[in-house]
Chains A and B, each alone.
Chain A
Amino acid sequence: MSLFKKFTFHGGVHPDDGKELSAENPIETMPPPAVVYIPLVQHIGAPAKEVVVIGDTVRKGQKIGEISSFISANIHSSINGKIKAIIQRLSPIGIKVKTIVIESDQSEEIQETLQIKREELPDSKVLLHQIQECGLAGMGGASFPTHIKLCPPQDKTIECLIINAAECEPFLTCDYRLMLEKTEELIMGIDIFRKILNVKGVYIGIEKNKPLAIAAMKKALQNSDIKVIDLEVKYPQGAEKQLIYAITRREVPRNGLPMDVGTVVQNVGTAYAAYEAIYKKKSLYERVVTVSGPGIQQPKNILVRIGTPIQAVIDFCGGLIGKTQKILNGGPMMGLTLFDLSAPIIKGTSGIVVLTEKETSIYTEQPCISCAHCVDACPMHLVPTTIAKNARKEFWEEAEKYGAMDCMECGSCAYVCPAKVNLIHSIQLAKAEITMRRRAAQKQGALNGK
């Protein structure tokens, strides 16, 4: 490694990060709400299967949904109360899913305490089981069940563990606050992952625009061989494949996984959740959420129970100011616009961002002038405009040939587009269509095989 090597990737953009709104605000605990709505699917994979019935009394942290297939995650109650209903209800990703409604009984909650000491860390099998029991799923957004990531198939050798603390999405500061406030706990969480994976190299990737977090982590890791990597500031530095490339110079193969290049990536938030799961036997029923944006009265980083309606979270932060136009689940680059604030906070919700009239110009699309700015910005080295043009003509095979399925929808292309073409929208359409066709072809193949 040369002295002047920069930890970065090709492509990407530099949006205003807006993090100053909430970066200095310590994590505040939001009181548990009277009613929580807990979706049975908050992760990638199969929905959990409910293990309670209406009328049951549950306690905070009690399992209410159980793993139903290989890729799935447990779901826990986030308050003490009674199961009021099990219904189809809107989740913050915009679809209706089976949701357990729990009404609080206002009884006193037990506070989790340290159960074991650092030296008493059990062996990796026990650790893995505990992580699975506690329902951990990636907290950076994609919410892949953590225990699956931590037990790669026998034929893959894992050489390094990368902790994703890039937090490149504008406005979000929840990982930053965790690093400042829970430094020691984070490192204990990272050690858990390390023990399970039995890896030598451990890297924590932090973007250079968070010098305090870098300093705090470096100081805490003085006597450790865990390396803190100062990443160049560029969006999407926190994208898994770009992060792996920036640190190891290895490219995850197309359609491949990080384990194919001997790495496992975990989010900082997940490391903290692992610490709590192992040392406090605490299941994942609350998380730190950044509530920010120019349209919120008091931008905050808050510890929120899973299942709390977004409206309650916004009210806790003083409500809306200005002419609100968009409320996002996530940041402005990859976040989804919300249309119903009764949707709950889930494990993957890292931020709620409110944009006002000032920040949301409504653009009319102009014709693409082939300026190729999207080509230069694409971190996956695709030609976004060509994929989008093919998608609009419903040339799905062509779109696939140009790499539609490689797109991770980071939004860099549409961000730089001077014609304001909704590139991501078109590419998402192509991806959905291609996936549907693949499934149909598989079904057909299965039928023919009989």
Chain B
Amino acid sequence: MENKLILSASPQWRERDSISRIMYTVSLSLVPAWLISIYFFGFPAVYLTILGVISAVGTEYAIEKICKLPKTIHDGSAAVTGVLLAFNLPPAVPFWIPIIGSMVAIGIGKMVFGGLGNNPINPALIGRAFLMASWPVYMTSAWIAPRGGSLSSLTSNLEALTNATPLNLYKSSLNIIHTINDPVQIKTAQDAINSLSNNWLNLFLGRIGGSLGETSALAILIGALYLIYKNYVDWRIPFSYILTVGLLGWALGGFNGLFSGSFLFHVFAGGLFLGAFYMATDMVTSPLTRKGKVIFGIGCGIITFIIRMIGGYPEGVCYSILLMNLGVPLIDRFILPRKFGEVIHAK
């Protein structure tokens, strides 16, 4: 026989799916969020994102070149990390911030562990946490007011109260209510919270101050629904995550006792949608089983809410996901599906 037969283990057929197809689909799904951030924040949204991607891909290539490893940049995962890192930056940061952030994300967040598939925690969030610790001023105040809107989403003179993002304003207002004994200031703070809560539509659309790609819940939702439809994102993580934050926000997030908080404000503010749909669902660093995913999402939600309310930062999405990432091996070890035909005895 002139041509040799190939021997291989079954199955002989494979679905036409690949890691690079997943990664490029994820990148594609981020386009709406990118376009909307370009609309609201202008040119910085363009170059910060591009610099983030170039730096991420370049770092991966350089490390693989130096260590003589097989080149993997074509799989697209570094590019996704670069985009997500840039999306987590305030729009007015200097151009070198995404470059360094991506280098740390890929270098320390991913390559030291052995590259794709081996990193225990989300690389983009490692990069962001590094920037947050190193250049806190840039990372917490380099905001730009969106086109046709204001930083905090409010248009009244309350804006003068604090020049801050909605979550910042919310937190400082709560602070005033709980610690300062001046009725006038308390009244102003209460007004601020009330108007923030009523202003959820601006938050939903993204006409607020915040990180580049996180502000528009709508744009993120469009991309994320596409990914859920393609089965590249399991809805259980974002659903349980967002629902937990929303319910906690409604129950404990108000100033007027239990159940006085605004569900919608807590859900649409900050980076929750970006985090829940794109960071927490990172396949490598999220649990394998459906039950595990729900536990992971709820855990992220609780930690996010705690940081938002009593932590040192106004937003807790980044750290909550990083913390829960560390719990994933444990979840995967103990939360297993009931095997077919397995009898679970009641204890």
Contacts and interface: CB of A to CB of B under 8 A. Distances in A.
A409 interface: yes
Contacts of B3: 323-325
A424 B283 contact: no
A170 interface: yes
Contacts, number: 154
Interface in A377-394: 379-383, 385-386
Interface in A59-97: none
Contacts of A373: 17, 231
Contacts of B234: 372
Label chain B's interface by main secondary structure.
loop
Interface string A396-433: 00000011001001010011111110101100100000
A326 interface: yes
A383 B9 contact: no
Contacts of A380: 339-340
A415 B337 contact: no
Contacts of A436: none
Interface residues of A, number: 64
Interface stretch (B49-57, B111-119, B156-164, B305-313): B111-119
Interface residues of B, number: 44
Contacts of B337: 375, 381-383
Identify whether the interface residues of A are mostly helix, strand, loop, or mixed: loop
Contacts of B22: 369, 371, 418
B15 A253 contact: no
A17 B43 CA distance: 51
A381 B338 contact: yes
B14 A363 contact: yes
B75 A418 contact: no
A16 B15 CA distance: 9
Interface of A: 13, 15-16, 170, 241, 245, 251-254, 256, 323-328, 332-339, 355, 359-363, 366-373, 375-376, 379-383, 385-386, 402-403, 406, 409, 411, 414-420, 422, 424-425, 428
Interface of B: 3, 5-15, 17-19, 21-22, 75, 77, 114-118, 231-232, 234, 283-290, 332, 336-343
15 contacts: A241-B340, A251-B341, A254-B340, A326-B12, A335-B10, A337-B6, A337-B12, A367-B117, A367-B118, A369-B22, A369-B77, A381-B338, A381-B339, A414-B10, A418-B17
Given A406-B339, A424-B10, 7 more contacts: A333-B10, A337-B7, A339-B5, A360-B6, A375-B337, A386-B288, A406-B341
